[in-house]
Amino acid sequence: MSPRNPSRRGWMNEDGGGWVAHRLSLLTSPAWQRRPRPLVKIMDRLEIEHLRHAGNENGNLCVSYDQFVAFGVSRKAIKPALELGEALGLLEIVRVENWEGSHRPPNLFRLCYLPAKGKKAPTDEWRSHSPGRVAEIMRRSSEGGSK
């Protein structure tokens, strides 16, 4: 058996985990760069869930509060961070309307910088936020309301 050729792209699917593309425009955007730590952790956990479904379930990503807590996010910080992520256009909270049973239905999530299930391109809501708009969203979030 020959040694692994590092110039081949097989490393990108190593262990069947795949990868998530972060475009330069996203990484340099004010929305991405101003994310507080709880939102970074939440988005990391959503990306893990996305990868666990081979990148085919964006918009149907189900991560519970307990899973966010196990990943290192304070339970108190989850709701505000999710609302901030949605206000910044980085993620969408997909609320389940039709649910059978006595428990509250789970929220599903979509990462706006990746294509949703069945789509070829992401929606990139984060692109519409100028640095000033992001600063305003962050200010309102720190005051207790992210909209």
User: How distant, in Å, are the alpha carbons of 39, 84, 124, 135 from that of 144?
Assistant: 15, 10, 25, 14
CB contact at 8 A, 59 and 94: yes
- pLDDT of 2 reads 47
What is the distance between the alpha carbons of residues 50 and 37, in angstroms, rounded to a whole number?
20
Higher-confidence position of 17 and 140: 140
Q: Which domains does the chain have, with CATH numbers?
A: 22-95+105-142 (1.10.10)
Predicted TM-score of the model (pTM) = 0.86
- Residues 44-60 have pLDDT tens digits of 999 999 999 989 999 99
Q: Look up residue 91 and give its DSSP letter.
A: E
- pLDDT of 117 reads 94
Report the SS3 class of residue 103: coil
* Residue 6, pLDDT above cutoff 80: no
Three-state SS across 4-40?
CCCCCHHHHHHHHCCCCCCCHHHHCCHHHHCCCHHHH
Higher-confidence position of 106 and 110: 110
Structure tokens at 95: 């609320």
* Residue 100, pLDDT above cutoff 80: no
What is the distance between the alpha carbons of residues 106 and 146, in angstroms, rounded to a whole number?
21
* Residue 1, pLDDT above cutoff 50: no
- pLDDT of 18 reads 76
- pLDDT of 45 reads 98
pLDDT band with cut points at 50, 70 and 90 for residue 134: very high
Structure tokens at 12: 């990108």
CB contact at 8 A, 52 and 19: no
pLDDT > 70 in the chain, percent:
84
What is the distance between the alpha carbons of residues 15 and 97, in angstroms, rounded to a whole number?
36
